Amino acid sequence: MENEVPLSGGRITPGVVRVGRTVRRPATASSSFVAELLGELQREGFTGAPRHLGFDTAGREILSYLPGWVPARFQRWTDPQVAAAGSLLRSFHDATRGSRLAGRHPVVCHHDPGPNNTVFADGVPAAFIDFDTAAPGDPMEDLGYMVWTWCISSQHTAPPATVQAAQVRVLADAYGLDAASRSRLVDAALDRQIRNARWWRSHLARPSPRVADEHEIAGRIRWSEQEHAYTWANRKTFDAALD
């Protein structure tokens, strides 16, 4: 077998490696759904996701390798990059809208479409990876998370809320969000921040091995709560940009 090169990008699934022009990932409880989803995306002509190529003799998923860059950390992005991310998310949702996999829900959501799960090609978001948390849902679940992780930041080095709010509008425009949904967008971001803190907190009560050590988990909880407090304090600014 060709050499295995460890890959980074996603924070949750360990043991992801590149083998030639493929990626091998440990199978999870969601592997069957992911295989069906990636097959459906391919049939619909959506190119912003890897292809599922089956399983290897070790039981790992085999995915096509997508060349490009996956950011290791959140950072500030340009308006064109944010717009490209919003357009990519809309294309993904549209490819699943009304499908059997979406069931009674409007679409299949990625549920973690942050920069760390996005492949950049020539500096522009081109594809999503790590579909382990994909499931039927409401588009606002993904949009709320994307607004937060691509546009909003409580860091002292981040630009003022007015600048961040303008970028929230860039994302909403690129996605093609209607007026009724725009009025729910900030609430969707706040909800994802609280859910993220709750998700990490639930792992503190789980036996080892955990997805991260207690110190890192505690840090992610504090960060999520800090981001929620910042978004809440500036929600009028974010809402006003979406009018």
Q: CA geometry: angle at 142 spanning 34 and 24, to 5°?
A: 30
* pLDDT tens per residue across span 138-151: 999 999 999 999 99
Per-residue pLDDT for 127 more than 70?
yes
Q: DSSP for 87-120?
A: HHHHHHHHHHTT-TTTTTSSEEE-S--SGGGEEE
- The answer, as to whether pTM is greater than 0.75, is yes
Q: Which residue has the higher pLDDT, 193 or 213?
A: 193
| pLDDT in the model for residue 73 | 81
| pLDDT in the model for residue 9 | 55
Per-residue pLDDT for 14 more than 80?
no
pLDDT band for 183, please (50, 70, 90 cuts).
Answer: very high
The type of residue at 43 is: R
CB neighbour class for 110 (10 Å; exposed up to 12, middle 13-18, buried from 19): buried
Return the residue matching tokens 């890192």. 216
DSSP class of residue 58? T
User: What's the rounded Cα separation, in Å, for the pair 145 and 21?
Assistant: 30
User: In angstroms, what CA-CA distances link 21 with 47, 67, 116, 144?
Assistant: 16, 9, 21, 33
| pLDDT in the model for residue 215 | 84
The type of residue at 205 is: A
* pLDDT tens per residue across span 201-220: 988 877 765 667 788 889 99
Q: What's the chain's length in residues?
A: 243
| pLDDT in the model for residue 211 | 64
User: What's the rounded Cα separation, in Å, for the pair 148 and 144?
Assistant: 6
User: In angstroms, what CA-CA distances link 184 with 18, 91, 162?
Assistant: 40, 20, 19
| pLDDT in the model for residue 72 | 83
pLDDT band for 130, please (50, 70, 90 cuts).
Answer: very high
* pLDDT tens per residue across span 16-68: 899 999 999 999 899 999 999 999 999 999 999 999 999 999 999 999 999 99
| pLDDT in the model for residue 10 | 53
User: What's the rounded Cα separation, in Å, for the pair 8 and 13?
Assistant: 9
**Nearest 5°: phi and psi at 67?**
-65, 145
Q: Which positions ≥6 away from 122 have C-beta within 8 Å?
A: none
Ranking 34-38, 128-132, 163-167, 213-217 by mean pLDDT, the lowest is 213-217
| pLDDT in the model for residue 209 | 59
